[in-house]
C-alpha cells in the first residue's frame, strides 16, 4: 500500500473543516495522505507552538459532546447544512451510545449523533468544523434514507479513549483521521487538523496534555497543548 495516494480520506476531513475552507484543504489533505509519508518535510527540532494564544490551560478538558436534549437539538448547536444519507453501523471513533458511522454520497461522517430521547426523528447530527467554540457548535443534519441499524446504539468498549475531537491551545481543531494511515517521521498521523496534522497520540503524562503538531507547510514538528479532548 505504501507509495500510493489515497484520496478517499479527503472528503472525510473536508466535511469537518466546513465549506468555507474547502478550496484550501485539497492541498493540505494531499500532503497528509498521499503515500506512506507526509509530503511536507519535517526536521528533527521541536518547537513550542501557539504563541499569542493566551494563557496556558491548567488541565485538558475532557468533553462529552451531547447535541440533543429532551426537546431536540439543544441550545448552543446550530444546523448549518442539510443533506440525505444513511448510517450502517455504530461509530468507530466514539464510544458512546447513539453515535453512528454514516455516509452522504461518497463522504463518510463519523461520529454522527442520534437522539437518545426521541426515536424516529429521521435524522442524525454530524459535527462540522467549529472554530472559536469549546465544543462543536455547527452541525450537518443528515436526513436518513433508511432506518438506523438495529444494533449500534449501545456503548462500544473498544473505542473508549480514542479521542475523536482534539482542540489545541493555538485554536486549531483536529479530527481523528478516518481512512488510509499516513506517517510523520515514522509515527502515524492519527489526527488531521484545520491546516495540519498531529503525529501520534496525545501525551497524557502531565497536564495539560501535549501533542506533536505539524502546521501546513511546516518543516518542524511543534509541541502544542491540548485544551479539549472528546471521546464521547
Output the pLDDT for position 153.
63
Can you spell out the DSSP letters for 100-167?
EEEEETTEEEEEEE--SS-TT-SEEEEE---TTSSS--EEEEEEESSPPPSS--S--GGGTT--SEEE
Give me the pLDDT at residue 17, please: 36
> Tens place of pLDDT for every residue, the chain, 232 residues?
333 333 333 333 334 333 333 333 333 333 333 332 333 323 223 333 444 456 888 999 988 889 999 999 999 999 999 999 999 998 888 878 899 999 999 999 999 999 999 988 999 999 987 766 677 888 999 999 999 998 766 665 544 456 889 999 998 898 887 765 566 555 667 788 887 889 888 999 999 999 999 888 887 789 999 999 987 6
Beta bridge partners of 229: 62, 166
DSSP H/E element including 25: helix 22-33
Can you name the residues that pair with 85 across neighbouring β-strands? Answer: 144
Pairwise CA distance, residues 208 & 211, whole Å:
10
Tens-digit pLDDT profile for residues 64-88: 889 999 999 999 999 999 999 999 9
3-class secondary-structure state, position 190:
strand
CB 49 within 8 A of CB 223: yes
Q: Domains of the chain: which residue ranges?
A: 9-59+160-230, 67-158
What is the reported pLDDT for 16?
38
Task: Please name the residues in contact with 113: beta carbons below 8 A apart, sequence gap of 6 or more.
Answer: 65, 66, 67, 68, 98, 99, 100, 124, 125, 126, 127
Among 72, 126, 137, residue whose Cα is nearest residue 101:
126
**What cell does 101 get?**
458511522
pLDDT given for residue 190 in this prediction: 79
**What is the DSSP pairing of strand 220-230 with strand 43-48?**
parallel
> 3-class secondary structure for 63-96?
ECCCCEECCEECCCCEEEEEEEEEEEEECCCCCC
Amino acid at each position: 500500500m505504501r507509495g500510493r495516494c489515497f484520496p478517499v480520506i479527503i472528503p472525510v476531513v473536508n466535511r469537518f473543516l466546513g465549506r468555507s475552507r474547502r478550496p484550501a484543504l485539497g492541498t493540505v489533505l494531499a500532503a497528509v495522505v498521499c503515500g506512506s509519508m507526509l509530503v511536507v518535510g519535517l526536521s528533527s527540532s521541536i518547537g513550542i507552538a501557539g504563541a499569542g494564544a493566551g494563557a496556558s490551560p491548567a488541565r485538558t478538558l475532557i468533553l462529552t459532546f451531547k447535541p440533543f436534549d429532551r426537546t431536540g437539538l439543544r441550545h448552543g448547536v446550530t444546523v448549518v447544512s442539510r443533506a440525505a444519507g444513511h448510517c450502517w453501523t455504530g461509530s468507530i471513533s466514539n464510544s458512546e451510545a447513539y453515535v453512528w458511522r454514516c455516509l452522504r454520497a461518497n463522504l463518510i461522517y463519523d461520529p454522527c449523533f442520534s437522539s437518545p430521547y426521541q426515536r424516529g426523528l429521521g435524522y442524525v447530527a454530524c459535527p462540522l468544523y467549529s472554530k472559536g467554540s469549546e465544543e462543536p457548535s455547527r452541525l450537518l443534519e443528515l436526513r436518513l434514507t433508511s432506518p438506523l441499524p438495529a444494533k449500534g446504539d449501545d456503548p462500544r468498549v473498544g473505542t473508549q479513549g480514542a479521542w475523536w475531537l482534539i482542540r489545541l491551545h493555538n485554536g486549531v481543531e483536529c479530527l481523528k483521521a478516518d481512512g488510509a494511515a499516513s506517517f510523520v517521521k515514522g509515527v502515524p498521523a492519527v489526527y488531521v487538523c484545520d491546516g495540519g496534522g498531529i503525529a501520534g497520540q496525545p501525551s497524557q503524562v502531565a497536564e495539560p496534555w501535549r501533542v506533536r503538531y505539524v502546521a501546513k507547510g511546516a518543516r518542524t514538528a511543534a509541541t502544542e497543548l491540548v485544551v479539549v479532548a472528546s471521546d464521547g
